[in-house]
Chain A
Amino acid sequence: MSTSAIRVRNVGLRFFIRSHKAPPTVHASLVRFVKHRPPPREFWALRGITFDVPRGSVMGIIGSNGSGKSTLLRVLARIYAPDEGEIRIRGKMSSLITLGAGFQPNLSGLENIHYNGVLLGLTRQEVDRKLDNIVNFADLGEFIDAPVRTYSSGMRARLGFSVAVHVDPEILIVDEVLVVGDARFRQRCAEKMRELITKGATVAMVQHNMEAIIEMCNECMWLDKGQMREIGNPYDTVKHYLEAQGLPMIAVPAEIAPAASVPDRGAS
Chain B
Amino acid sequence: MKLIPQREPDVVVVRARERTRFRILDFDSFIVETGHGIVAFFHYIRELWQRRMLVRVLSARELKSTYEMNLVGFGWWLLEPLSMTAVYYVLINILTHRSTADPTRFLSILIPLLAFKWLSQSVVGSMGVVRANATLVTDVYFPRALLPFAQLVTGLAHFGVGLLTIPVFMLLVGVGPSWTLLWMPAIIVTQFLFMLGLSYPLSVWGLNYRNLPNLMGNILRLWFYLSPGLYALSSITNPRLQQLMKLNPLTGIFEGYRGAILTHRAPDWSLLYTAVLGAITVVLGGWYFTRREPHFGKLL
Kindly list chain B residues whose C-beta atoms are within 8 Å of the C-beta of A82: 14-16, 30
A/B pair count, beta carbons within 8 Å: 123
CB distance from A83 to the nearest CB of B (A): 5
Chain A residues near B57: list those with CB within 8 A.
Answer: 114-115, 118-119, 124
- The reply to whether the CB of A146 lies closer than 8 angstroms to some CB of chain B is no
Contact indicator A101/B135 (Cβ below 8 Å): yes
Do residues A25 and B210 form an inter-chain contact, with CB atoms below 8 A? yes
What is the CA–CA distance of A11 and B30 in the complex, to the nearest angstrom?
A: 13
B25 on the A face (CB < 8 A): yes
Kindly report which residue of chain A lies nearest to residue B205, judged by CB atoms: A26
Cα distance, A33 to B26, chains bound together (Å)? 12
List chain B residues, Cβ under 8 A from A15: 298
Tell me the minimal C-beta distance from B150 to chain A in angstroms: 12
Determine whether B141 belongs to the interface, using a CB cutoff of 8 Å to chain A.
Answer: yes
A-contacting residues, B45-92, CB 8 Å = 51, 53-54, 57, 61, 64-65
Are A86 and B140 closer than 8 Å at their CB atoms?
A: no
* Docked-complex contact B135 and A85, CB < 8 angstroms: no
Q: List the interface of chain A (C-beta within 8 A of B).
A: 11-12, 15-16, 23-27, 29, 32-33, 39, 74, 77-92, 95, 97-98, 101-102, 104-107, 111, 114-115, 118-121, 123-124
**CB-CB contacts of B117-142 with A at 8 A, as 1s and 0s?**
00000000000000001011111111
The answer for the CA separation of A83 and B208 in the assembled complex, in Å, is 19
How far is the CB of B114 from the nearest CB of chain A, in Å? 27
Question: Across the two chains, which residue of chain A brings its CB closest to B66?
Answer: A106
Contact of B266 with A by CB under 8 A: no
Residues of A within 8 A of B133 (CB): 102
For A84, what are the chain B residues with a Cβ–Cβ distance below 8 Å?
16
Report Cα–Cα, A43/B139, bound state, in Å. Answer: 21
Determine the residue in chain B with the shortest Cβ distance to A105: B65
Kindly identify which residue among B137, B141, B209, B294 contacts A26, using a CB–CB cutoff of 8 Å.
B209
Contact of A81 with B14 in the complex, beta carbons under 8 Å? yes
Q: Chain B, 1-31, contact with A by CB distance < 8 Å: what is the 0/1 string? A: 0000000101111111001001011010011
Contact across chains for B209 and A25 when beta carbons are under 8 A apart: yes
Residue of A29, A85, A90, A121 near B24 (CB, 8 A) is A29
Which of A16, A23, A81, A124 is the one whose CB lies under 8 Å from B53? A124
CB neighbours of A107 from chain B (8 A): 61, 64-65
Question: Per-residue 0/1 for B179-221: is the Cβ within 8 Å of any A Cβ (1 yes, 0 no)?
Answer: 0000000000000000000000000000011111001000000
The residues of B that contact A24 with a CB separation of less than 8 Å are: 208-210
B136 CB, min distance to chain A CBs, angstroms: 4
Q: Are A77 and B141 in contact (CB under 8 A)?
A: yes
| Inter-chain contacts of A29 with B (CB < 8 A) | 24-25, 208-209
Contact of B135 among A12, A92, A102, A121 (CB under 8 A): A102
CB < 8 Å: which of B24, B53, B208, B212 contacts A118? B53
Shortest Cβ gap from A121 to chain B (Å):
7
The answer on a CB contact under 8 Å between A123 and B138 is no
Chain B contacts for A33, CB-based, 8 A: 24-25
| Contacting residues, chain B, for A91 (C-beta < 8 A) | 10
Write the nearest CB–CB distance from B133 to chain A, whole angstroms. Answer: 7
A to B CB contacts below 8 Å, 20 in the list:
A11-B16, A24-B210, A26-B215, A27-B211, A77-B141, A78-B32, A79-B138, A80-B298, A84-B16, A86-B16, A90-B11, A95-B141, A98-B135, A102-B135, A102-B140, A104-B64, A106-B65, A111-B64, A115-B57, A121-B51
Cβ contacts under 8 Å, A23 to chain B: 210
Report if B295 contacts A (CB, 8 A): yes
Cβ of A90 and Cβ of B140 under 8 Å apart? no
Is the pair B14, A26 in contact by a Cβ cutoff of 8 Å?
no
Q: Inside 8 A of B14's CB, which chain A residues have their CB?
A: 78, 81-82, 86-89
A15 CB → nearest B CB, Å = 6
- In the complex, chain B residues whose CB is within 8 Å of the CB of A90: 8, 10-12
Chain A residues with Cβ below 8 Å from B167 are none
Bound Cα distance A102, B141 (Å):
12
- Is B297 close to A, CB under 8 A? yes
